[in-house]
Amino acid sequence: MKEVEFVEVVKKYGDLVAVNNLNLKVNDGELLAILGAPGAGKSSTLKMVAGVEDITSGVIKIGGQVVNDLDPSERDVAMAFETYALYPHISVFENIAFPLRSPKRAKYFTEEDIKKRVREVAEFLEIDMLLNRKPKELSGGQRQRVSLARCLIRDPKVFLLDEPIAHLDAKLRHKLRRELKIWQQRKKTTMLYTTTDYLEAFSVGDRIAVLHRGSLLQVGTWDEIYERPAHRFIGQLVSDPPMNFFQGQLVRNGGAILFETKGIRFALSPEIQKRLMERSFEEVILGVFPSKVLLEFSDFRMEEHTGTLVKAVVRFSEVRGSRKIVFAQTGEGVTFTAQAALGIQCPPGSEREFFFPAASLQVFDNITQRNVLLLD
Ligand SMILES: Nc1ncnc2c1ncn2[C@@H]1O[C@H](COP(=O)(O)OP(=O)(O)OP(=O)(O)O)[C@@H](O)[C@H]1O
């Protein structure tokens, strides 16, 4: 029983609400990635679990026990801070070994055990050659790995990792995020892991919790969030380039409801149409991820899908990794981005047909910015 539960948790700093009525349950042995822009409230959330920040109101439980009034040392959680917080006067080895030497734990570990554990975690994080140095002799990335090692050396109920690999170079980040996940699965320890990077969140998290200005917007797996983002902001946060948004209005055509913007009538999925018939919305916005807009449909049988063909002129395109991002504009001035395979030719100025599958379109209520399918 190592689940972590937040019940109506609020964190205020003076008048500033950093965490706003958080209700969330992290399951036993789960790796929950908390995704949010800087200032979203991620660190404050972890610090309240660790006990280094007070909870303004609400309840936090670990393994079913309310921990609000427990001292940090009694919570059995290990936290790696984004700011490292290393002891400057002792070696890297002693910094990592530090948690095992606390009065409470020292009796369980011989000097041999400590050496073995430090070596294991230092090798895992590729800092075994730095063990004799002092923190001031390390680069920022190396300090971050020492801070991480000091956290991982323990066997707590819960690991709290605050942007644990943010200051590492891209190659090491990719390697570590994979290995941290393997480490967590091996230990079966519940882990809360914060990041500002959606790719990192999707790659490490069993589920992802999206925080925005202190409020939890959605919790789910990669598929659930990507297939049905709960809020317009999520469309911007989990895609690069961000989701395309179109202003427009709903129109009826026979028994169908379509979304119309500057000369284009987008077909919507039956599920969205049903929703729009059940409930009226003053103003809506259409959203579609660039990766779902199709340009040249070689392995996609268009006739089997409901959707909308849009003719547009390619403004420019750029290569990003293994794909091409295409920026296009219709004659009526509607602009959008699409993704294409590298081999697809789309020189600037060329006219192309883009397919918008109805199943990939999202409709957001412009007042609450929420996905109409997820509103009560
Ligand atoms: N000790 C503090 N005193 C006052 N305001 C604070 C304090 N700590 C955080 N804040 C404010 O609370 C809000 C949430 O901060 P928090 O550090 O939790 O966000 P975050 O998502 O972790 O950001 P980052 O990714 O930049 O670390 C921010 O507006 C921040 O300025």
pLDDT tens string 280-302: 888 999 999 999 998 876 566 66
Q: Are 8 and 184 in contact (CB under 8 A)?
A: no
Ligand 1 touching residue 41 (CB < 6 A): yes
In the predicted model, is pLDDT for residue 107 greater than 70?
Answer: yes
Pick from 43, 82, 200, 210 the residue to mutate for probing ligand 1's pocket: most ligand atoms within 8 Å of its CB. 43
Pick from 44, 160, 194, 237 the residue to mutate for probing ligand 1's pocket: most ligand atoms within 8 Å of its CB. 44
- Rounded Cα gap, residues 172 and 165, in angstroms: 8
Pick from 10, 11, 13 the residue to mutate for probing ligand 1's pocket: most ligand atoms within 8 Å of its CB. 13
What does the pLDDT read at residue 1? 67
Ligand 1 geometric centre to CA of 211 (Å) = 12
- Rounded Cα gap, residues 259 and 358, in angstroms: 11
Q: Residue 147: enclosing H or E segment and its boundaries?
A: helix 140-152
Would you give the distance in Å from CA 79 to the centre of its chain?
Answer: 19
For residue 255, the tally of other CB atoms under 10 A from its CB is 7
Ligand 1 geometric centre to CA of 39 (Å) = 5
Ligand 1 geometric centre to CA of 10 (Å) = 13
Torsion over CA of 42, 47, 53 and 59, rounded to 10 degrees? 90
Residue 287 pairs in a beta bridge with: 245, 362
In this prediction, the answer to ipTM > 0.85 reads yes
Average pLDDT, the chain: 92
Q: Are 200 and 177 in contact (CB under 8 A)?
A: yes
What does the pLDDT read at residue 166? 84
Q: 100: helix, coil or strand?
A: helix
Residue 6 pairs in a beta bridge with: 24, 60
- Rounded Cα gap, residues 273 and 335, in angstroms: 24
Ligand 1 geometric centre to CA of 324 (Å) = 36
For residue 278, the tally of other CB atoms under 10 A from its CB is 8
Work out the pLDDT band at 251, boundaries 50, 70, 90.
very high
- Percent of the chain's residues with pLDDT above 90: 73
Task: Name the closest-CA residue to atom 31, ligand 1.
Answer: 39
User: 77-91: string of b/e by CB count within 10 Å (b at 16+)?
Assistant: bbbbbbebebeeeeb
Q: Are 334 and 260 in contact (CB under 8 A)?
A: no
What does the pLDDT read at residue 128? 94
- Rounded Cα gap, residues 195 and 163, in angstroms: 5
- Rounded Cα gap, residues 286 and 365, in angstroms: 9
Cα–Cα–Cα angle for 354, 359, 365, nearest 5°? 100
Higher model confidence: residue 231 or residue 171?
A: 231
Q: 329: helix, coil or strand?
A: strand
Ligand 1 geometric centre to CA of 49 (Å) = 15
Ligand 1 touching residue 38 (CB < 6 A): yes
In the predicted model, is pLDDT for residue 226 greater than 70?
Answer: yes
Work out the pLDDT band at 95, boundaries 50, 70, 90.
very high
Ligand 1 geometric centre to CA of 175 (Å) = 28
| Domains of the chain (ranges, CATH numbers) | 4-232 (3.40.50.300), 244-374 (2.40.50.140)
41 CA closest ligand 1 atom index: 18
Which among 41, 50, 371 is positioned nearest to 211, based on CA atoms?
Answer: 41
Ligand 1 geometric centre to CA of 38 (Å) = 8
- Rounded Cα gap, residues 194 and 146, in angstroms: 18
Ligand 1 touching residue 36 (CB < 6 A): yes
At 31-61, the pLDDT tens digits run 999 999 999 999 999 999 999 999 999 999 9
126's tokens: 């590729």
Ligand 1 geometric centre to CA of 138 (Å) = 26
Residue 165 is given by DSSP the state T
Read off the pLDDT of each residue in 60-81 and give the average, rounded to a whole number: 93
- Rounded Cα gap, residues 190 and 206, in angstroms: 11
- Rounded Cα gap, residues 6 and 22, in angstroms: 6
At 164-207, the pLDDT tens digits run 888 888 888 888 888 888 888 888 999 999 999 999 999 999 99
What does the pLDDT read at residue 303? 63
Ligand 1 geometric centre to CA of 212 (Å) = 12
Residue 341 pairs in a beta bridge with: 323
At 342-368, the pLDDT tens digits run 888 889 999 999 999 999 999 999 999
Ligand 1 geometric centre to CA of 17 (Å) = 10
Q: 170: helix, coil or strand?
A: helix
Task: Name the closest-CA residue to atom 24, ligand 1.
Answer: 38
Ligand 1 touching residue 248 (CB < 6 A): no
11 CA closest ligand 1 atom index: 12
45 CA closest ligand 1 atom index: 18
Would you give the distance in Å from CA 173 to the centre of its chain?
Answer: 15
User: 285-317: string of b/e by CB count within 10 Å (b at 16+)?
Assistant: bbbbbbbbbbbbeeeeeeeeeebbebebebeeb
Task: Name the closest-CA residue to atom 26, ligand 1.
Answer: 38
Which among 152, 235, 221 is positioned nearest to 191, based on CA atoms?
Answer: 152
- The tokens 């006739």 sit on which residue? 303
What does the pLDDT read at residue 55? 97
Q: Are 10 and 53 in contact (CB under 8 A)?
A: no
Read off the pLDDT of each residue in 95-110 and give the average, rounded to a whole number: 85
